[in-house]
Each structure stands twice: as C-alpha cells, then as structure tokens.
Amino acid sequence: MTSKTEQAKKSSYAIDEKDREILKLLEQNAKWTVRQISSQINLSPTPTHERIKRLERSGVIKQYVAVLDKKKVDKGIMVLCMITLSKHNKKAGSEFINTVLQFKEVVECYNISGDFDFMLKILAESMDSYHNFFVNQLTEIEGIAQTKSIFVMDIIKETHEVL
C-alpha cells in the first residue's frame, strides 16, 4: 500500500512537452527501445530513459500491455451492461464493486450518472456464455434493481491512446 506522501508525489508530477512526445510514442508502440524513442524526440538515451522511469514512478505510465484481437482469442461477443442498484449508499456500492472486480468477463466497469449507476464492458465467447454469466453470476449480486444489456454489433473506433 502506498503512503499519502507517495500518492501526493504521484499525482503532483507535471509532464512537459518532451514527456508528452515520449508518451505518444509509447502509446503507439510500447516495445520501442529507449534508443528508438530518443532518436524520435531528439534527446539522448540517458535523459530519455530517466524521463520514462520518472513517468513510471509517478504513475503517469500505469502499465505496458499487449492489445489482443478479441475475436482471435474467442471473445467475439461484447456487451455493455447497465446496472442500477436498489440502494444508493456506500456499503451497497462497495459490495457491488468488490464482486464485479472478481469477474474475468468484466473488462471495464464505470460508475456513471443518469438512469443507471454502473456500466460494465463484458466480453464473452458466445451468446450462450454471456447468458450463463448474466443469469448465474451477474444478476446473483445482491442489490441489483435493474439491468440493461446492449450488444455491440461492430467496433467502429477503439483506441487506448490518450494523447
């Protein structure tokens, strides 16, 4: 667990234009070497490496990942599931969140405003596997008042790039 001082240090790191250039390159390809990045941003490898390490320590760079083709790993069904809880208090919200965090099918979870409290992005192998998950796991969570499942027919734009 991080201390308040460490958390404050992480949240107070101000990034400059060189940092932004590094981040844009890493978003496009996290496998680029320090040498490749440094040549792109016109900075020598050592200060480039130091900047990357500082961005990692400060929490600006959260992790490095491989982006998979969902269909090629048998996750061809994507569902956006909206959830309304029957009670709106800290305990009910925490219990829901803690349960949802355990489900491998749920790849993203958002606390939202409007008619629903949460939106889940769920990946499944098939309609049958989604139905099984929905009936036997998701709707078994105590305190769910309403759900609405929206099936994604096609992904028009999907990116992990922020800058």
Domain match, 79 and 53 both: no
For the segment 14-24, the average pLDDT, to the nearest whole number, is: 96
Q: For position 13, what pLDDT does the model report?
A: 75
End-to-end CA distance of the chain: 29
Q: For position 1, what pLDDT does the model report?
A: 46
> Which residue has better confidence, 34 or 160?
34
The Cα–Cα gap between 65 and 80 comes to 23
Residue 132: give its domain's CATH number: 3.30.70.920
Domain match, 132 and 86 both: yes
**What's the gap between Cα 54 and its chain centre?**
22
Predicted confidence (pLDDT) per residue in 118-150, tens digit: 999 999 999 999 999 999 999 999 999 999 999
Q: Which residues pair with 94 in a beta bridge?
A: none
Write down which residue in 45, 67, 89 finishes a domain.
67
Domain match, 79 and 132 both: yes
The Cα–Cα gap between 21 and 37 comes to 9
Strand order in the sheet with 118-124: 106-111, 118-124, 77-85, 144-151
For the segment 50-71, the average pLDDT, to the nearest whole number, is: 95
Q: Are 34 and 40 in contact (CB under 8 A)?
A: no
Domain match, 45 and 77 both: no
Domain match, 30 and 94 both: no
Q: Are 83 and 117 in contact (CB under 8 A)?
A: yes
> What is the domain range of residue 111?
71-151
Residue 11 domain flag: no
For the segment 68-73, the average pLDDT, to the nearest whole number, is: 94
Confidence of residue 113 (pLDDT cuts 50, 70, 90): very high
Q: For position 99, what pLDDT does the model report?
A: 97
